[in-house]
Amino acid sequence: MTSQLQQQDLVVYNDGQIVSEKLLRGEYNSLTAITHIQGTAPSWLLTGVAENCLLGTCHFSPGLGTNLAFSANEPRSPVLFASFYQDAAFYSKTWKKHLGLDIASQTGNARYLDLMEELMHVLSRGADPKQSLKHVFDKISTEVQKLAAKGAKPSLIIEAPELLLHTIDIEVDDLLLSLHKLNEKTNLTLVMSIDRPLIEAHSIQDGNGLRGKHSSLVLKLLHRANTIIDIHPLETGHANDATGVLTVSKGPIPLDDVKVQEGAYLYLLNKEGSARLFFK
């Protein structure tokens, strides 16, 4: 199937970029939702988004070329990657390969926060749920402020914020407010796992349970998003020459002067985790 197709670059906006230049330079802040389900881990995509924000390039979009105008010291946008799901070791190899950075460094223009470890540390001290939530988001906010002090608007990627609902006893609206406050300072990309049957079956009766809270959070964030990127398996199951499908669509909230380039791609991951994209 894909062996007969030409490799394509991922284009999310009409300026040909994954993260539009207008978003990085504009006065408003965007909200991008990246959704996935079990079996379609998005780590390859997140590394590419971080690379594009920082350097203006992307390892699976060779058409973007090598942008000599940007470097880790003089970035397109400083990047904070905060994860409630993976520790730094998980991304260490790909960051070194594609961003040319040591992920353990916390002094440059690209930083990584292991938030689950941070949260577990707070909970071990007996903090109540709202104090725990505040502590974690204060930590993120402090790192955002450090990056903003360098002069450019930071890009913030948060992986698996929905896991907070499964870890501490908080309300969906408390988490939404914390995320909104960060979005006021950054271009925010939220990476969330979804269960389509669960979301489709979401009802008021289940709204206070963990499953209901999870689906409520996802739905509310999708309704606030400017851009939605979804990765999911092939409808026919596994294939040797395609791993899954990536779709780009407009969110309900339009962006001023920035147009989302809607489209669908097949993607193929190799054993090293590198991706190639093809038009679907």
DSSP 133-163: HHHHHHHHHHHHHHHHTTSS--EEEEE-TTH
What pLDDT digit, counting tens, does each position of 72-99 carry? 888 999 999 999 999 888 999 988 988 8
pLDDT for 199 beyond 60: no
Where is average pLDDT lowest: 62-66, 95-99, 253-257?
A: 62-66
Tell me the pLDDT of the chain averaged across its residues: 87
d(CA 202, CA 223): 15
DSSP state of 254: P
Whole-model pTM: value is 0.92
- Identify the structural domains of the chain with CATH numbers, from first to last: 2-279 (3.40.50.300)
What pLDDT digit, counting tens, does each position of 22-37 carry? 999 877 799 999 999 8
Angle in degrees, CA 260, 190, 88, rounded to 5: 125
Three-state DSSP at 225 gives coil
CB-based contact 59:48 (threshold 8 Å): yes
d(CA 92, CA 104): 8
Q: Return the pLDDT at 207.
A: 55
Better pLDDT: 275 or 240? 275
CB-based contact 250:262 (threshold 8 Å): yes
| Residues contacting 198, CB < 8 A, separation 6+ | 211, 214, 215
